[in-house]
Structure 1
Amino acid sequence: MTRTDEETTPNPQPITEKQVIVSFYITQLSLLVIALPLLWWQGKLNWGYFGVTNIHMWIWGAVAGLGIVFLELVLIRIVPEKWLDDGGINRLLLGRRSPVHIFFIAAVAAVAEEMFFRGAVQHWLGIGWTTLLFVLVDTRYLRQWVLVLFLTLISFLFGWLVEWSGTLVPAVAAHWTVDFLMGLYLRFADEK
């Protein structure tokens, strides 16, 4: 007697919110632990590169982020929902969090990911290869070509902002703006 595929294939357990949150924070901490020594070795671990006091770069980043949010909301309206499905990970991460926690998650992601990808990695790989790496690391989007294309454009924009400004600030500000506002959208759209 032979077994069917259903009998031999393990039934994967659905991922929980707690697992998503823990995985998120471990991933972001890992990116920071890798990025900090690389930035130090590259001579970029200084206040000038982080441009904390450069308000113009914060504004440019926020404006870029608002543009991305606008485009994403347009996509949500015109593209079939299944084309934007990330497997529910973003909803698990952000959908039931308080606005303060969404703010914090967005800040952690923006700082850690931009320090690693645009700060440390882009120095060696350039914008194109860093964008490819960024998209491949966000595996939850790889099942949907619309998400891959959109994420590629966003990553390229973030890389360009860093090259253009010579600082991480506009990329961090844009990344935070997108994650925070879309996190709020997920949070309150789910309530409706």
Structure 2
Amino acid sequence: MKPKSQSEVILQMNDREITIQLILTQVIILTLAIIGSVFLFDSFWSGWSRQLVYDSKQIFLYGALPGLLVLFIDIFLLYRLPRRMYDDGGINVKVFKNRSIISIIGITLLVAVSEEMLFRGVLHAEFGYIIASVLFAIMHIRYLTKMVLFISVLFVSFFIGYMYEMTGSLLVTITAHFIIDVVLAFWIRFGKWGGTDE
């Protein structure tokens, strides 16, 4: 018997099961970031504190504006390309379609914080730009067979990684990541998921 794909498994789950799975996955990623920083940073506290310095100008210029630029490109492509080219098997729709506004904000913020802490805060800081950016893209394994989605996530990974390279700030990359995810989640939630059916 052929094993079920990730999308088949998720599509069979109810909203509560998906929420638990999402939170569990992000807690694991966050735990890996903390464990990694314990072993790799010279000093746990200074390693994180130097990456979490608040600078509103940096956050706006290198976090919010790049996040909005990525959104503009994504939304343009959503309406120009056939739906099949960026369809992830219905996973994103299943995850966000019935979710409350507060739940969407909470989940996308958790994803942005945990993934940026691991991929930029630990992997990028310790192993460099290219390794962290490629690993981030590969983590989105369900996109590997969808060329448009994989190129998109690879671009976003390198783009956000470059913002980190320029600033050394996790608050910048968390902001960009959160803006992209939360707006696209609302786009799905309120039925604006575009594209043509060709």
Q: TM-score, normalised by structure 2?
A: 0.85
Gap runs ≥5 in structure 1: 1-7
Tell me which residue corresponds to 2:56.
55
In our comparison, the structure showing a higher alpha carbon Rg is 1
Q: Distance in 2 between matches of 1:191 and 1:80?
A: 12
Gap runs ≥5 in structure 2: none
- The change in CA–CA distance for 1:97 and 1:39 in structure 2 (over 3 A counts) is same
Tell me which residue corresponds to 2:82.
80
3-state secondary structure, aligned to 1:163 = helix
Q: Distance in 1 between matches of 2:155 and 2:175?
A: 16
Tell me which residue corresponds to 1:26.
24
* Percent identity (aligned): 27
- The change in CA–CA distance for 1:191 and 1:126 in structure 2 (over 3 A counts) is closer
Tell me which residue corresponds to 2:144.
142
CA deviation digits over 1:84-111, x for unaligned, max 9? 0111111121111111111111110000
- The change in CA–CA distance for 1:189 and 1:37 in structure 2 (over 3 A counts) is same
Tell me which residue corresponds to 2:111.
109
Q: TM-score, normalised by structure 1?
A: 0.87
Q: Distance in 2 between matches of 1:101 and 1:129?
A: 32
Tell me which residue corresponds to 1:15.
12
Q: Which amino acid aligns with 1:156?
A: F
1:29 is displaced (CA, Å) by 0.3
- The change in CA–CA distance for 1:190 and 1:50 in structure 2 (over 3 A counts) is same
Tell me which residue corresponds to 1:152.
154
CA deviation digits over 1:118-164, x for unaligned, max 9? 11111333222222211111112112100110100100011111110
Residues 27-46 of structure 1 aligned to structure 2 (within 5 Å): 27-40=25-38, 41-42=40-41, 43=43, 44-46=46-48
1:39 is displaced (CA, Å) by 2.6
Poorly superposed stretches of 4+, deviation over 2 Å: 8-15, 17-20, 37-41, 43-48
Tell me which residue corresponds to 2:92.
90
Q: Which amino acid aligns with 2:82?
A: P
**Kept in 2: contact 1:89–1:140 (CA 8 A):** no
Tell me which residue corresponds to 1:66.
68
Q: Distance in 2 between matches of 1:191 and 1:35?
A: 33
Q: Which amino acid aligns with 1:162?
A: Y
Q: Which amino acid aligns with 1:83?
A: M
CA deviation digits over 1:24-72, x for unaligned, max 9? 1111101111112323441354433112x31112212011111111111
When the two chains are superposed, the root-mean-square deviation of aligned CA atoms in Å is 2.1
Tell me which residue corresponds to 1:3.
none
Aligned residues: 184
**Kept in 1: contact 2:78–2:193 (CA 8 A):** no
1:10 is displaced (CA, Å) by 6.7
Q: Distance in 2 between matches of 1:25 and 1:183?
A: 16
**Kept in 1: contact 2:164–2:173 (CA 8 A):** yes
